[in-house]
Amino acid sequence: MSETQRTREFITGNEATARGAIAGGCRYFFGYPITPQNKIPEYMSAHLPEVGGVFLQAESEVAAINMVYGASAAGARVMTTSSSPGISLMQEGLSYMIGSELPCVLVNMVRGGPGLGNIGPAQSDYWLATRGCGHGDGQCITLTPNSVQELHDFTARAFEIADRYRNPTMVLADAILANMMEPCDVLPPTEMPPADRPYAVGPHGQERERNIVNSLWVDFDEMEEVNLRIQERYRQAAEEITDWEEYGSDEPEVLVCAYGISSRVCESAVDEAGKAGVQARLVRPKTVFPFPSEPIAKWAEQAKCAVVVEASMGQFVEDVRLAVEGRCPVELVGHAGGNIPAVSEVVARILEMTS
């Protein structure tokens, strides 16, 4: 990626995501339409051919993720994007990719659920990303942007992360981030990087042994060995790419934790609480798998209590509780179904907890 050639534009999160992907070297896109992320495939259908890439609308999300599986096995930088019901359908394919140790990037613009739900913003696929990804021991490495700029940058970077850890990498956002417009310093499309996938299938003459992409290991010990290898990469990822941002007071009474769009609400809430005389510090994970437990534990030691804010009924809060390990009480401000917590509500809870 050529950092120096960024241009400032005013674009939607969806467009920023699509352009981030092309800047990250993505040249293959397989997906199935679903609101609120349709502008991503539409952008890809118009622009991927311009950079020599391939766009294909799959017949379903089940097919899309398996096309991704095939393209990744063939050595490509590939991605799919969807929203909650579509990500549900991709679970099996993701499990196969994790088991076969294949990289890919997927974006989930989360919407209100469960079921058909609605097209409003939500954060209720946290478990789907960090606990789900189908059956078996495996997760998506999960990045949680909170702005149009971060959607762009994280998506671009996700390809490198996926390749490094040979694991599906998810950009987890929501309907607001997808549709809102903000200034974004856009990266130019990069040249297609040479496929450096020694494990990929394809023509190879006599240069190597044959490659088999597979997640079937009937021998228990062999299967466990694959699992250990996967877990070792997760441990490495925890060391190398765990990322977060902090905002607010250095001497907080209250620790505030939120990711994605909710963390934007919390920034404002931390400011408001400060005006009302309560010092608060926001820790907002930019990665939720691996999870930044350390700063959360550190501030929990000092704070009287923690307030966790999410647009779901209590998923992210569980990871915060695991990090806090009882150091202070943890309270949830949660909403669901397309509603997101309001600044006033978060401030009220902060004040209530400290009174």
Partner 1 sequence: MTTDMKQVYAYPDALTEVEMRYCPGCTHGTAHRLVAEVIDELGIKDRTVTLATVGCSVYAYEYFDTDAVQCSHGRAPAVATGIKRVQPDTIVFAYQGDGDLASIGMAEIVHAAARGENFTVIFLNNAVYGMTQGQMAPTTLLGQKTTTSPRGRTAPEAGFPIRVCELLDTLDGPAFLAREALSTPPHVRNAKRAIKRAFETQVAGLGFSLVELLSTCPTWWGMTPLEAIKHVDEQMTKCYPIAVFRDRLAAQEGEQSAESAPGEGE
Partner 2 sequence: MREEIFLGGLGGQGVLLGGQMMARAGMDAGLNVSWFPIYSPEVRGGSTTCTIVITDGRVGSPICERPETMILMDPVAANTFAPQVAEGGLLVLNSSMIEQPPGHEDCETLWVPANDIAVEIGNERTVNMVMIGAWAGRTSALSIEGIAEALQHMLPERHHKHMPANIAALERGAEIGAESRQPGG
Ligand X SMILES: Cc1ncc(C[n+]2csc(CCOP(=O)(O)OP(=O)(O)O)c2C)c(N)n1
CB of 81 to partner 1, least distance (A): 12
Give residue 186's Cα distance to chain centre: 19
DSSP string, 39-88: HHHHHHHHHTGGGT-EEEE-SSHHHHHHHHHHHHHTT--EEEEE-HHHHH
Q: Which helix (H) or strand (E) holds 29?
A: strand 28-31
The reply on whether position 61 binds partner 1 by CB under 8 A is yes
Cβ atoms 24, 186 nearer than 8 A: no
Q: How many CB atoms lie within 10 A of CB 232?
A: 11
Return the DSSP state at 134: S
The reply on whether position 353 binds partner 2 by CB under 8 A is no
> With CB under 8 A, what is the number of residues at the site for partner 2?
19
* Closer by beta carbon to ligand X, 53 or else 86: 86
Q: Rg for the chain (alpha carbons), in Å? A: 20
Cβ atoms 320, 330 nearer than 8 A: yes
The reply on whether position 46 binds partner 1 by CB under 8 A is yes
The reply on whether position 182 binds partner 2 by CB under 8 A is yes
Nearest of 139, 116, 350 to residue 255 by alpha carbon: 350
Q: Which stretch binds partner 2 (CB under 8 A): 53-61, 75-83, 174-182, 190-198?
A: 174-182
Helix extents (H) in 74-169? 84-89, 91-99, 126-127, 148-165
CB of 317 to partner 2, least distance (A): 20
Strands 28-31 and 78-82: parallel
Q: Would you give the binding string for ligand X spanning residues 27-56, x where CB under 6 A is met?
A: -----xxx----------------------
Integer Cα distance of 76 and 53 in angstroms = 10
* Closer by beta carbon to ligand X, 20 or else 41: 41
* Closer by beta carbon to ligand X, 89 or else 342: 89
> With CB under 8 A, what is the number of residues at the site for partner 1?
19
* Closer by beta carbon to partner 1, 54 or else 348: 54
* Closer by beta carbon to partner 1, 32 or else 154: 32
CB of 32 to ligand X, least distance (A): 6
* Closer by beta carbon to partner 2, 166 or else 264: 264
Question: CA 222, 227, 228, 232: dihedral to nearest 10 degrees?
Answer: 140
Integer Cα distance of 36 and 106 in angstroms = 15
The reply on whether position 188 binds partner 1 by CB under 8 A is no
Q: Which stretch binds ligand X (CB under 6 A): 19-27, 83-91, 246-254, 257-265?
A: 83-91
* Closer by beta carbon to partner 1, 55 or else 165: 55
Backbone angles phi, psi at 219, to 5 degrees: -75, 125
Integer Cα distance of 43 and 17 in angstroms = 10
Binding site for partner 1 (CB under 8 A): 32-35, 38, 41-42, 45-46, 55-57, 59-62, 85, 115-116
Binding site for partner 2 (CB under 8 A): 8, 10, 118, 176, 179-183, 264-265, 267-269, 271, 340, 342-344
Binding site for ligand X (CB under 6 A): 32-34, 61, 85-86, 89
